[in-house]
A and B are shown apart, each in its own frame.
Chain A
Amino acid sequence: MGSIAGALLDLKRLDQLAAGDSAVHRLDARAKVLATLVFIVSVISFGRYELSGLIPFFIFPAVLIAIGQLPAGYLAAKIILVCPFAVAVGIFNPFFDRGVLVHLGPLGISGGWISCVSIVVRTVLTVGAALILAAVTGFPAICRALERLGMPNVFVMQLLFLYRYLFVLTEEGGRASRARELRSFGRRGLNLSSYASLLGHLLLRTWQRAERIHMSMLARGYDGVMPVGHTSRFGVAEMLFLLIWSSLCILLRLNNGAQFIGTLVTGILS
């Protein structure tokens, strides 16, 4: 089945990006997590009709992509794939909110269109920030960072276990699903009864796998905590990274940078 294998490859590619070695990759994960949070909150806190103020925020993903040597096209494709829900809700704004807000010569643009575009721009910014964080940090490092920022140990373990076995079980499920499809002609045989027994078998195998994992953990001396390979520390570089980005975000939140540049340029031209 193409889609499961494809989704898995996609996931692995994002995972492999985190193995890169650049200035942002080397930073302590806590600095990146906190900076991303400040960024997202600043973007989200704009009013619904504000659009030009959001544009300068593209500097954060752009700089991280550039320094982290991330493939911009691949990330853009991923972001576009996940937009539909926000677009589906935003697209109704133009129909319900018809008051004209901005005049461009003879053309009047209604508030609905502005807020609709604003929703899409926010989605691109926030989703992009999350993906970039995952791509320059890696999921296990994000979990460790969250643990050191106060997340309960039980939940951290859960996230690490899930991440470890995600690839294993998705591959197993993909194989089972492909086998079922090869044995069913056209759409026949893909009904609920075969689906339920497939999932049931997968569930039982998963359960047995968990029992085996537990036994091998005990055999290796598991005592309730997962061992950590190496720890990084929150140094001067991390402090600078966090300070610069959060002050820039707050500055851009309070001052509309795009409007300012636009005022300067149209002022000079006219």
Chain B
Amino acid sequence: MHMADALLTPAVGGTMWVASAGAIACSSAVLRRERDDRKAPLMGVLGAFLFAAQMINFTIPGTGSSGHLSGGLLLAILLGPSAAFLTIASVLVVQAFFFADGGLLALGCNIFNLGIIPAFVVFPLVYRTVIGRDPSRARLGVGTMAAALATLQLGSLAVVLETASSGISSLPLADFLMLIQPIHLAIGLVEGGVTIAVLSFVRKARPELLQSGGGVDPSAGRSLVPVLLGFLVCAVVIAGGLSLYASGKPDGLEWAVAKVSGKAVLPAPEQGVHGALSWLQQKTAWFADYRFKGGKTEIGAPAKLDTGVTGIVGAVLTLLSILCAAFLLRKGSRGAVAPEA
């Protein structure tokens, strides 16, 4: 469910970065106020535990496929929202760098989808509400399962919204939703089952962990909720607004250029500044006339052909020259430094 850089525009990615960075700052401040320095190693090691847990699989009965824990909700229940959020965020940072899950720009989205949603939205609003003040076993089970389902549904919904408001993918919104939500219903059921099973094991073996963890910062968690809901609203509004602005303006510019030049000489892919510049280039380029004549007489295709051919020729040449340069650079520096294995 990791979001990828390639599907994002800078406006959406940047907005989600701001939201996630704000949440990291808030949570760090909460933990610093707590001054409980037992938590620092505990959070770090639990983050590493999450890594190990995600690599171990179990077979899902009846289907033959296998599943694993993703663990955001488990951490929220064990550590409380702020500490759990920072732990999940740190795991995502390491994944972005070393497993290249998603990417650096998408990191903001991923921290939002997999960290803020379980820790600050689902945990206080769904889990705490369902289990109530004096939880029974059944209530704990129902609350955990509901929270797991909500986490996965909201997370995948966020992926859809971020992709759609970026507009890089042309998958229609409804189709994308139909594709992704049912799958995450199944994943949510698995996640809920595993979380319940692990928690019941911990409750049998060391019940004091659950009491101390869940009750560490209830007040802090509650006071953060409105702030983060505010962030959510801001993020959605700004992302929507900015991407509309971002995608509206180039079209306008292109339209203006087409109007100025009199006809649609410009191929559709040229947008924005680039469109204007290539228009300028076409007006000033030495070879512009030859190009169009050559294209027309030799192959007899419309003038649009040229941008396709020149684009490909240019791309291949650029790639080749970059590779040559890199090869030479490496040859040159190999003398100075012993090569790494």
Contact = CB atoms under 8 A, between A and B. Distances in A.
A155 B28 contact: yes
Interface in B28-51: 28-29, 31-32, 37-38, 40-49, 51
Contact of A267 (B41, B209, B286): B286
Contact of A196 (B194, B268, B291, B313): B194
Given A55-B319, A123-B4, A103 B301 contact: yes
Contacts of B211: none
B94 A139 contact: yes
B317 interface: yes
A263 B314 contact: yes
Given A96-B172, A199-B198, A258-B317, A52 B61 contact: no
A270 interface: yes
Contact of A17 (B272, B290, B340): B340
A78 B103 CA distance: 13
A14 interface: yes
B245 interface: no
B206 A62 contact: no
B250 to A, nearest CB: 6
A199 B69 contact: yes
A263 B310 contact: yes
A225 to B, nearest CB: 10
B336 to A, nearest CB: 8
Contacts of A49: 268-269, 271
Nearest to A268: B287
A255 to B, nearest CB: 6
Interface string A7-22: 1000100110100111
Nearest to A195: B58
Contact of A82 (B32, B99, B313): B99
B170 A93 contact: yes
Contacts of B325: 59, 62-63, 66
A219 interface: no
A161 B42 CA distance: 9
A78 B97 CA distance: 12
Given A202-B53, A214-B42, A123 B6 contact: yes
Interface residues of A, number: 139
A102 B302 CA distance: 10
A265 to B, nearest CB: 6
Nearest to B193: A192
A135 B334 CA distance: 18
A166 B104 contact: no
A246 interface: no
B103 to A, nearest CB: 5
A248 interface: no
Contact of A162 (B90, B302, B339): B90
B333 A23 contact: yes
B304 interface: yes
B104 A174 contact: no
B28 A152 contact: yes
Nearest to B300: A105
Given A58-B319, A102-B307, A263-B285, A152 B198 contact: no
A142 B183 CA distance: 36
A165 interface: yes
Contact of A48 (B56, B60, B168, B327): B168
B138 interface: no
A161 B41 contact: yes
A254 B98 contact: no
B261 interface: no
A40 B5 contact: yes
Given A103-B305, A254-B273, A262-B317, A142 B97 contact: yes
Interface of A: 3-4, 7, 11, 14-15, 17, 20-23, 36-37, 40-41, 44-45, 47-53, 55-56, 58-59, 62-63, 65-67, 69-71, 78-79, 81-82, 85-86, 89-90, 92-93, 96-97, 99, 101-106, 109, 111-112, 114-115, 118-120, 122-123, 126-127, 129-131, 133-134, 139, 142, 151-155, 157-166, 168-170, 172-174, 176-177, 187, 190-204, 206-207, 209-211, 213-214, 217, 222, 224, 254-268, 270
14 contacts: A44-B10, A45-B9, A48-B168, A49-B271, A50-B269, A90-B6, A104-B309, A115-B168, A122-B6, A162-B44, A196-B201, A209-B45, A260-B281, A266-B291
